[in-house]
Amino acid sequence: MTTHETDAERRLDADDERDDTSWWTTTWPLAKGDWLHLAIAFVSVIVVAVVLGELLTNWSGLDWIVQTDRDLAQDFADGRTATGNDLAHWGAFVADTPVKIVLSVMIAGLFLWRWKRWHEAVMVGLTLIFEATAFIIVTTIVQRPRPDVERLLDSPVNSSFPSGHVAAATVYAALAVIVFWHTRAIWARVLAVVIGVLVALTVAWARMYQGMHYLSDVVAGVVLGLVSIAICARILGPPPGAVARHDIERAAETSTGVTTP
């Protein structure tokens, strides 16, 4: 083992030696130290998001952003049509909490069946849990009022920052990370990224159209979703046998001059 190996690489090497017949007990991808890293990252995300939310809500220095938010929210409300209302309903539907939970459980179950290990399923579930928990804490603390326009929906959460729907929609892009783990095919990678972007943008438009969020709320939701994916992917690392792992091994060989047997 070289000093250039990362914790993720050492964990992957250990995964390769496990017995496939007991994968449900031996392929858990998170070590004890990973939980500490997750906790530190989580607290950091909360602190930064709360500060940004409080600045938008209470600091006059960002009034130009707030005014832009209000003008755009009013423009959306003034330009509504029956067709647009229907499209917005279905556009936001994919990020509704029950829908996101059911889809995530189904996708995670499919991955467990396909690969007989926890790695990909944990990537799906962990990003969702990380994002959703961070959203709940931040929105509860910040309490930014929703846009002062007619809203097309009622919500038990009367806080606007950040957009939980948009953050949840962005977290679907965790599937793109899994695609990158398993193939170098350009078409597959591009398709995964394009779908992820379209889902997030569609939900962002729908939530603003419905009068539920300002532009800055949905931008914050996208950032929260992307940060959640980046943190979880970094801590988990690529699974055994993944294309991404082979790339790591080749990079290590090139930098050390040692060939992996």
Q: What is the pLDDT of residues 118-134, one digit of tens each?
A: 899 999 999 999 999 99
Tokens of 260: 């992996």
Residues 6+ apart with CB under 8 A from 77: 147, 149, 150, 211
pLDDT higher than threshold 60 for residue 95: yes
Distance (Å, rounded) from C-alpha 142 to C-alpha 260? 51
Is 21 a domain residue? no
pLDDT tens for 163-181 read 999 999 999 999 999 999 9
Is 237 a domain residue? yes
Is 97 a domain residue? yes
Q: Where are the alpha helices (DSSP H) in the chain?
A: 7-16, 23-26, 32-58, 63-78, 82-93, 97-115, 119-142, 164-171, 174-182, 186-209, 215-236, 243-256
pTM here is: 0.83
Tokens of 216: 């800055």
**What domain range is 111 assigned to?**
8-16+29-256
> Can you give the pLDDT at residue 11?
56
Is 201 a domain residue? yes
pLDDT higher than threshold 60 for residue 40: yes
Among 129, 121, 116, smallest CA distance to 105 is for 121
Instruction: Assign 1 a pLDDT band (cuts: 50, 70, 90).
Output: very low
Least confident of 9-13, 77-81, 256-260: 256-260
Residue that has been written with the tokens 């049509």 in this structure: 81
Is 261 a domain residue? no
Is 3 a domain residue? no
Is 204 a domain residue? yes
Q: What is the mean pLDDT of residues 235-261?
A: 63
**CATH number assigned to the domain comprising residue 131:** 1.20.144
Is 91 a domain residue? yes
Tokens of 96: 């509704």
Instruction: Assign 243 a pLDDT band (cuts: 50, 70, 90).
Output: confident
End-to-end CA distance of the chain: 12
- Tally the domains of the chain: 1
Amino acid at 62: L
Cα dist from 128 to 57, 104, 107, 241, whole Å = 26, 8, 12, 24
Amino acid at 31: A
